Structure 1
Amino acid sequence: MRLWSLNAAILDRAALVACWREALLAQKVLAGGTRGYTRHPQLERFRSAADPLAAVGHFLGCLQSEATARGYRFDASRIAVVDAASPAIPVTDGQLAYELEHLRRKITARDADWLSRLPRVATAAETFTVIPGAIEAWERP
C-alpha cells in the first residue's frame, strides 16, 4: 500500500490510479469493513487524526479532484465522508524527500517523459502539513 504524501499533481497516471485504489482500501479498513491491512503502517497517520474517516475522505477528495482535472473519472460517490476539512496531518520534509525519490525511480522505469514534471523539492498533498524531520517511523524503506 502506497498512500503518497506528495501532492497528487506530480503523480504520474499509474501512481495516481494506484493511490486512489489503495486509499479506497484504507477507507474500508478504517471503517471496519475488512480484516485485511488493519495493521498497515501507513494507516497510522490517518488513525491519529481526530476523525480518521474524514481524514481519508479529504485525502480521497484531493485525489479525485486531480483525476477530474486530468480528464479521468474517479467515482466520488465511493468517498464515505465528502467535503471534509483538511485534517492537517503532519508529515516530515524527510518523508516527502524520500517519497519524491521513490516516485522518481518508479517513473524512470515506466514513464520517462513524466520525469520533467517532477519538482526538485517535494510538496505535500493538501491533507498534510509539513514539519521538519527524517523519514516517518511508519515508512518501510
Structure 2
Amino acid sequence: MNVKVVENEKELEDAFSVRRTVFIDEQNVPAEEEIDELEDEATHFVSYLEGSPIAAGRFRVVDGYGKVERICVLKEARKTGSGKAMMNEIEAYARKNGQHKLKLNAQTHAIPFYAGLGYEVVSEEFLDAGIPHKTMIKNI
C-alpha cells in the first residue's frame, strides 16, 4: 500500500474516482456537494494497492486548524489498514507544515475509527449531505 500526496492530474483523478465511488455512488451524496469549490485550495492524498487507487483524502488549513476532509476507502479495501495509513500520512504532512491541531467532521459510524487514532468528539451531531456527523479534534 502506497499513500502519497497528489502530484499530477492522473493522481488527482484517481483520488476523485475513489471519492465518487464511496460518497456519490455508495452514500448518495450529490455530486455537486462532493467535488466542490474548495478542491483547488486543498492538498489531496491518494493511496494505491498494486497500482490501483483504493483510498483518498484531502487537507486544508481552516481557522487555525489543519482540516482533514473527504477520507474514504473503497469497500473492498476496508479493514486492511488503508484508512489508518491515509490518516498517518495526512498527519505527518500536517506536522511537517507546522500544524499542531487537527479537526475533522466524522460520519457518526466512523467515530470509533477516528477515536482509535486519538481524535475526540467536540460537537453535537449535525447533518452534512444528509449524513449524521460530529466534529472531532486532535493535537499532534
TM-score by length of 1: 0.27
TM-score (norm 2): 0.28
Higher strand share: 2
Greater per-residue helix proportion: 1
Which of the pair has the greater relative contact order for Cα pairs under 8 Å at 6+ separation?
A: 1
